[in-house]
Chain A
Amino acid sequence: MSEENWIEVGSTDSIEEEDLIRFDHQDKTFCVYRLTDGFYATDGMCTHETVHLEDGLVMDDEIECPMHQGIFNIKSGEALSPPACEDLKTYPVKVDNDKIFIKID
């Protein structure tokens, strides 16, 4: 995979632990999370309806949608609780010199 697929999101201290930030790139939108064991990224929009997960609650490894409490596993994207039933897409993340990068395909 070529280097340019890695997109810089921001510095590691821009996200508090057990929290997330929204990251928009071109016409796509993502959520980038900081969990106790590192950084993760998923699509920004819930798979149930068109609501951004940036306002959701991060608990352990899960993100809960702020609209109807659909729950996804942040690391695998798996939809864990209805009304969400379609998995969330996840993206690889790396940290280099205190900067977070995500790989968008």
Chain B
Amino acid sequence: MKNNIIILGGGQAAIYAAREVRKNDTDSNIKILSEENLLPYERPPLSKDFLLNKKNEDDLYFHSSDVLKNENIDFENVLINKVDFENKKLFTKNDDVYSYNSLLISTGSENKKLSLDKNLNDDIYYLRNLEEAKTIKEKISNKNKITIIGGGFIGLEIASSISQLKKKVTVIEIGNQLMGRIIPKQIADLVQKTHIEHGNDIILNKQIEKISKKNDIYEILLNDNSLIETEFIIAGIGSTPSIKLFENTNLKLDNGIVTNQYCETSIKDVYAAGDVSNFYHPLYERNIRLESYQHAQNHGICAGKNIAGVKTEYSSVPWMWSDQFNLNLQLTGICDDYDEMVERGNNINNGVIYFFLKNKIIKGACGLGIVGKVGRDIRITSKLSEKNTIVDTQILSDETQKLNKLIQK
């Protein structure tokens, strides 16, 4: 009997894991089970170039079906709704059974939903997958006033795209700055300024009391009694790991599926990777959960190696980006554990970076600049933090000095 490897969830981590298993194991059966009837595709363009009509569906797929066929990777469109870890089986609603020897869980994350009047649930749109992106694109085509609830990365990217489609956008954020506290206030303010310059209204520090619908217009009542009239509402209020399926099982859960540095879960032969996993990171000596493109790719690859028996530790330095208007924001490492903050640059045309250090070692950094201006320095920062290099903060803060100087060869 051949070894059966099942990958549950057919997103980015899944496809990288599947191909990596195949690289190291030519024998086993590999099957990806996916709720979405689409080959694995990139999500970042959904809130950006896809909405802007600069990319179409065909541009989003990681690989064609030929690549999967050539590598003998099965892809099946099916929703799994029960797991039996003891007997190593997965079930669908109709009791179709899938047996595995090794299982990778890469079910990603799902959007948090607003808890408002139930009658309006279908009137509020969310963005996570291609279907939803298509719906939003179609529905907004004849609308002019659009409101985004939530000023996080995805909400702001949608706001940027829709504004470029020449529509009036209002963003309502409950916190006192955009993109949450992890982003330095100075950078959040620069992003806010850019949105406002492009005509978007940004409302901070306000809670939604009520949404009501009159004819085809929605009225959003805020806690200061102000009223916003809008034709279409999109909410981007954060996400949670997709773990409902495992809630009454022995699988250890804590803000996602708890894994070690080898992508192994608390159950033998069960692995987890990507958005769904809360993994132990050896560099930070604690568990972290990330929702990022680079992580889904590299974590998937690492899981693939471990499943194929090539024991590999995962220690990539976290990195993610967000593109809004002509700005590119990048975040590396962890930015919530520091004793010193150093600023480099003060102008988005050349890039602005905030470094977070502990004991003179960079733990993380956040940069913002017009396209391309912060990438190199952020990348160098990742390398420095990966090697725990003690850095000269004078060089960090002096824009005229190249950061390559800090890399010890």
Residues in A lying within 8 Å of B, measured CB to CB? 18, 49, 51-52, 54-57, 64-69, 82-83
Which residue of chain B has its CB nearest to the CB of A53?
B372
CA distance A16 to B334 in the complex (A): 32
The answer to whether A69 and B372 touch across the interface, beta carbons within 8 angstroms, is no
Residues in B lying within 8 Å of A, measured CB to CB? 42, 44, 49, 62, 293-294, 297, 319, 321, 323, 328, 371-376, 379-380, 404
The answer to whether B293 and A83 touch across the interface, beta carbons within 8 angstroms, is yes
The answer to whether B375 and A66 touch across the interface, beta carbons within 8 angstroms, is yes
Assess A83 versus B42: contact at CB under 8 Å? Given A57-B380, A68-B321, A69-B294.
yes
The answer to whether A67 and B293 touch across the interface, beta carbons within 8 angstroms, is no
CA distance A63 to B374 in the complex (A): 15
CA distance A82 to B404 in the complex (A): 24
CA distance A25 to B260 in the complex (A): 52
**25 A-B pairs with C-beta separation under 8 A:** A49-B49, A51-B371, A51-B372, A55-B373, A55-B375, A55-B376, A56-B372, A56-B375, A57-B376, A57-B379, A64-B375, A65-B372, A65-B375, A66-B372, A66-B373, A66-B374, A66-B375, A67-B321, A67-B375, A69-B294, A69-B375, A69-B379, A82-B297, A83-B44, A83-B293
The answer to whether A57 and B293 touch across the interface, beta carbons within 8 angstroms, is no
The answer to whether B375 and A57 touch across the interface, beta carbons within 8 angstroms, is yes
The answer to whether B297 and A55 touch across the interface, beta carbons within 8 angstroms, is no
What residues of chain B lie closer than 8 Å to A83, measured between beta carbons?
42, 44, 293
What residues of chain B lie closer than 8 Å to A55, measured between beta carbons?
372-373, 375-376
What residues of chain A lie closer than 8 Å to B42, measured between beta carbons?
83
What residues of chain A lie closer than 8 Å to B373, measured between beta carbons?
55, 66
Name the distance in Å between B267's Cβ and chain A's nearest Cβ: 31
The answer to whether A56 and B319 touch across the interface, beta carbons within 8 angstroms, is no
The CB with the most chain A CB atoms within 10 A, among B297, B371, B373, is that of B371
Name the distance in Å between B247's Cβ and chain A's nearest Cβ: 33
CA distance A12 to B47 in the complex (A): 44
What residues of chain A lie closer than 8 Å to B371, measured between beta carbons?
51, 67
CA distance A55 to B351 in the complex (A): 11
What residues of chain A lie closer than 8 Å to B321, measured between beta carbons?
67-68
Assess A66 versus B376: contact at CB under 8 Å? Given A51-B371, A82-B62, A83-B42.
yes
CA distance A66 to B294 in the complex (A): 14
Name the distance in Å between A63's Cβ and chain B's nearest Cβ: 10
What residues of chain A lie closer than 8 Å to B379, measured between beta carbons?
57, 64, 66, 69
Name the distance in Å between A35's Cβ and chain B's nearest Cβ: 14
The answer to whether A56 and B376 touch across the interface, beta carbons within 8 angstroms, is yes
What residues of chain A lie closer than 8 Å to B323, measured between beta carbons?
67
CA distance A82 to B59 in the complex (A): 13
The CB with the most chain A CB atoms within 10 A, among B42, B44, B380, B404, is that of B404
